[in-house]
Amino acid sequence: MKNLGTQTIETERLILRRISGNDAENGFKNWTSDPNVTTYLRWKPHESVEYTRGVFERWAGFYDDPAYYQWTVELKEIGQPIGTFTGFDVDENVEKVQIGYCIGSKWWRRGIATEALNALLDFFFNKVGVNRVEARHDTNNPNSGKVMKKCGMKYEGTYRQAYINNTGLVDVSMYSILAKEYFDKSLQW
């Protein structure tokens, strides 16, 4: 496993890139102020562009760390960021990373999260060399799990009252995909 940090990744409709304070206005407009986005997350909707700018600038301050993975998802057709994907809980001993994501509700059910997650699976398996990518979701948010399944991730189980978000203490479903499954598509369920 070789941590490479947040690299620009381009897909058919998206550019996954580093975030900056300059993204604050579009970020606030497109997702950080959207209460639908934050329902199953730990953070509340942002109340001002200035707050969003501070968060984005803080995140941007970590980009020198090769084990730091924080992307904004820019939709090419509008030239604006519409959400974020994060690789966290990086564990070099077991060669794994966990991925979390949020997209503005205006762009839900368009395959954008699936397209971005597939691109990140490719990055983490082919470039970083991880053995395991995992993701989890609040069981009350099954659409997030559908994204994981579409990307070939396997359901591993539900952890009871293992997470707290804006709805309270919740159960979470865990999904993962291993390198051998990613490279041998016949092993995916």
Per-residue confidence at 110, pLDDT binned at 50, 70, 90? Answer: very high
pLDDT value at residue 60: 97
Strand order across the beta sheet in which 9-10 lies: 9-10, 14-17, 69-75, 80-91, 96-103, 132-138, 168-178, 154-165
How far apart (Å, rounded) are the C-alpha atoms in residues 129 and 92? 10
> Is the pLDDT assigned to residue 175 strictly greater than 60?
yes
Model confidence, pTM: 0.95
Other CB atoms within a 10 A radius of the CB of residue 131 amount to 16
**Residue whose pair of structure tokens reads 């994204």 in the numeric block:** 147
* pLDDT tens-digit readout, 135-149: 999 999 999 999 999
Side-chain-facing half-sphere of 27: CA atoms under 13 Å: 27
State percent of the chain over pLDDT 70. 98
Q: For the chain, which residues make up each domain, given as ranges?
A: 9-134
Q: Would the CA dihedral through 98, 104, 110, 115 be positive or negative?
A: negative
**CA separation for the pair 161, 140 (Å, rounded):** 12
Q: Is the pLDDT of residue 79 over 80?
A: yes
Beta bridge partners of 145: none
Close Cβ partners of 52 (under 8 Å, ≥ 6 residues apart): 24, 27, 28, 32, 33, 46
Over residues 103-110, the mean pLDDT reads: 97
Question: Is the confidence at residue 152, as pLDDT, over 90?
Answer: yes
Q: How far is the CA of 109 from the CAs of 3, 27, 36, 140, 165, in angstroms?
A: 31, 19, 14, 17, 22
Instruction: Return the closest-CA partner of residue 153 out of 124, 129, 187.
Output: 187
Residue 186: the pLDDT is 59
Average pLDDT of the chain, as a whole number: 96
Examine the pLDDT at 188 and tell me if it is beyond 90: no
For residue 30, what pLDDT band results from cuts at 50, 70 and 90? very high
Pick the CATH number of 9-134 from 3.40.50.720, 3.20.20.70, 2.30.30.60, 3.40.630.30: 3.40.630.30
pLDDT value, residue 23:
98
